């Protein structure tokens, strides 16, 4: 039987619905060997992110749960560090490095918040080609901004693009921008992230199958996650994600201990 775990989860400490303890209990019920919390850290956007103070409480709380449930499950303390977060990600067992914003005229524009917001960004930036170029340049530079153990949702720029409504994900220019970014960070494990499936935006995980095949060709490694914001979604579309990883040509995905040597 395969090991079930999820390192990309959000709780009430950021924009998730459930308390960490409710999620730990749900993970135990589902037979998970581990649950990792990855609270958002993009404190310039307080509606969705932990603040400096709440991150401190979060770290303490996850530490308590780690101890309380240690006989039943491994609880890991992580963070989803947005590249623009000014406070370095210290005091965590692992870091998911993610891009959620484009910086434009001194403002942080969220690309994954809502379709309406995405439309506004396109209006401000001018065209999809420029937006795509800007986005993948930032993704490629992730490690200049923050250390990362996992690359979060590599092509979240395509969150609202189901059916190719904004751009063609098979277009050579799009692939080229994505591959240039990938080449700079492909030594870090990428997540195969089913988060947009659980929220009904997409039918397939991030990254797209074409990009996942490129990652395989570069010798990249993958770990699955559901980027869940509610306990019901802890293993959302996991079976599909595993099929998908195989369809991209990967013989295997990383076990928990291969993601990182946990101390």
Which positions lie near Zn ion, rule CB under 5 A?
A: 80, 98, 227
Comparison of 51 and 129: residue with beta carbon closer to Zn ion: 51
Comparison of 98 and 113: residue with beta carbon closer to Zn ion: 98
Q: Which residues contact 234 (CB under 8 A, 6 or more apart)?
A: 6, 9, 23, 26, 27, 30, 32, 35, 226, 228
Comparison of 162 and 171: residue with beta carbon closer to Zn ion: 162
Comparison of 169 and 227: residue with beta carbon closer to Zn ion: 227
Q: Which residues contact 182 (CB under 8 A, 6 or more apart)?
A: 140, 154, 211, 214, 215, 218, 220
Q: How many residues does the chain have?
A: 263
Roughly how many angstroms between the first and final C-alpha of the chain, as a whole number?
25
Comparison of 155 and 227: residue with beta carbon closer to Zn ion: 227
CB of 1 to Zn ion, least distance (A): 27
Comparison of 98 and 198: residue with beta carbon closer to Zn ion: 98
Are the C-beta atoms of 9 and 36 separated by less than 8 Å?
yes
Distances (CA, A) of 159 to 65, 131, 137, 194: 33, 14, 18, 11
Distances (CA, A) of 105 to 124, 127, 191: 9, 16, 31
- In degrees and rounded to multiples of 5, residue 107 shows phi and psi of -110, 150
CB of 50 to Zn ion, least distance (A): 12
CB of 61 to Zn ion, least distance (A): 18
Comparison of 80 and 85: residue with beta carbon closer to Zn ion: 80
């Amino acid at each position: 039987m395969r090991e079930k775990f999820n390192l990309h989860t959000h709780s009430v400490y950021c924009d998730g619905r459930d308390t960490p303890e409710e999620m730990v209990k749900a993970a135990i019920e589902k037979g998970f060997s581990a649950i990792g919390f990855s609270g958002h850290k993009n404190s310039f956007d307080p509606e969705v992110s932990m603040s400096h103070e709440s991150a401190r409480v979060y770290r303490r709380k996850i530490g308590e749960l780690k101890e309380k449930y240690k006989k039943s499950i491994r609880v890991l303390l992580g963070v989803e560090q947005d590249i623009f977060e000014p406070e370095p990600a210290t005091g965590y067992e692992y870091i998911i490095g993610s891009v959620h914003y484009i910086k434009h005229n001194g403002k942080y524009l969220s690309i994954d918040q809502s379709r309406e917001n995405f439309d506004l960004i396109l209006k401000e930036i001018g065209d999809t080609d420029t937006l795509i170029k800007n986005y993948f340049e930032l993704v490629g530079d992730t490690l200049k901004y923050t250390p990362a153990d996992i690359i979060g949702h590599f092509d979240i720029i395509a969150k609202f693009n189901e059916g190719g409504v904004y751009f063609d994900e098979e277009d050579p220019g799009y692939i080229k921008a994505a591959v240039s970014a990938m080449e700079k960070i492909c030594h870090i494990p990428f997540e195969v992230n089913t988060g947009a499936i659980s929220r009904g935006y997409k039918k397939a995980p991030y990254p797209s199958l074409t990009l996942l095949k490129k990652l395989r060709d570069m010798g990249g490694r993958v770990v699955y996650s559901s980027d869940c914001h509610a306990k019901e979604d802890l293993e959302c579309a996991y079976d599909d994600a595993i099929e998908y990883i195989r369809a991209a040509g990967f013989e295997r995905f990383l076990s928990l201990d291969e993601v990182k040597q946990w101390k």
